[in-house]
């Protein structure tokens, strides 16, 4: 791969790191980029997780340095998310590239439904929302973990919706989100390693970009607050919808 390819990979990773930290959906940029650079879809899906893990670490550190820690808020949901992430990664690693492409497309369409139906999906907390029961909370985050382990793209948007439903503002929801995403990604990576679906060279370059993006995204989130995060989140959802409809 030439210098232009490496620059695209690092730059794409940086942009995705910022997007993932402030909203979600950065993998919609990096997975297609990895495929464009020559990786099969399943290997692109696995390789992308290296960047996700690194950006989760740097963005968590960035939030922590700004006195906005997501670790305490993440603890109640880590167990179902990790269990779901492990199961989702195991399922995805066994698929063929053709089936993964079809599944990816179907999931992108399904993800449009809550965007259109729920006014709270963009992070606005419903005024009369009732807290979920423990069982419902467990199942919701189990399902989110499963999706994140299998597909990843857009999982941050689901996490923000679930966390704002639990009463967190967008800044704190994002600080918790990156810890949760890092947790299920950490258990998913060994599954993809065992399946031979990670390219360490490309993944390392991607992770370098993700690292910087995660750190900057955390600082921008805290500095700008909900006033900055909300439009970024709205743009992320619109970008997701555009990709679902094949507009680019």
End-to-end alpha-carbon separation of the chain, Å? Answer: 24
- Residue 138, CB-side half-sphere exposure with 13 Å CA sphere: 5
The H-assigned helical ranges of the chain are 3-22, 27-36, 41-65, 71-93, 97-110, 112-117, 134-150, 155-165, 170-194, 200-244
Q: Determine the length of the chain.
A: 248
- State the chain's mean pLDDT as an integer: 83
pLDDT tens digits, one per residue of 126-173 = 444 567 788 888 999 999 999 999 888 778 888 988 888 887 888 898
CA 144 – CA 124 distance, rounded (Å): 19
Residue 184: closest CA among 226, 141, 122, 238: 141
Confidence tier at 239 by pLDDT (50, 70, 90): low
Residue 8 has pLDDT above 60, yes or no: yes
CA 179 – CA 177 distance, rounded (Å): 5
Residue 164: closest CA among 116, 131, 138: 131
203's CB contacts (< 8 A; 6+ apart) are 47, 48, 50, 51
pLDDT tens digits, one per residue of 104-113 = 666 655 655 5
**Residue written as tokens 């089936």?**
99
């Amino acid at each position: 791969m030439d210098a232009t390819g490496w620059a695209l990979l690092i730059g794409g990773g940086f942009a995705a790191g910022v997007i993932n930290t402030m909203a979600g959906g950065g993998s919609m940029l990096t997975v297609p980029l990895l495929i464009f650079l020559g990786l099969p879809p399943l290997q692109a899906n696995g390789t992308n997780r290296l960047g996700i893990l690194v950006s989760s670490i740097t963005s968590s550190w960035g939030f922590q340095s700004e006195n906005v820690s997501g670790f305490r808020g993440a603890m109640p949901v880590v167990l179902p998310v990790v269990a779901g992430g492990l199961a989702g990664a195991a399922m995805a690693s066994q698929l063929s590239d053709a089936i993964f492409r079809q599944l990816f497309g179907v999931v992108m369409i399904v993800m449009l439904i809550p965007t259109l139906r729920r006014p709270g999906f963009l992070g606005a907390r419903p005024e009369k929302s009732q807290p979920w029961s423990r069982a419902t909370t467990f199942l919701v985050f189990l399902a989110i973990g499963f999706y994140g382990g299998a597909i990843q793209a857009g999982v941050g948007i689901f996490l923000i919706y679930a966390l704002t439903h639990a009463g967190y503002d967008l800044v704190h929801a994002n600080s918790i989100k990156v810890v949760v995403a890092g947790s299920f990604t950490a258990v998913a990576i060994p599954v993809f390693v065992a399946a031979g679906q990670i390219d360490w060279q490309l993944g390392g370059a991607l992770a370098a970009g993700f690292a910087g993006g995660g750190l900057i995204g955390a600082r921008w989130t805290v500095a700008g607050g909900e006033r900055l995060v909300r439009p970024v989140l709205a743009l992320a959802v619109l970008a997701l919808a555009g990709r679902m409809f094949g507009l680019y």
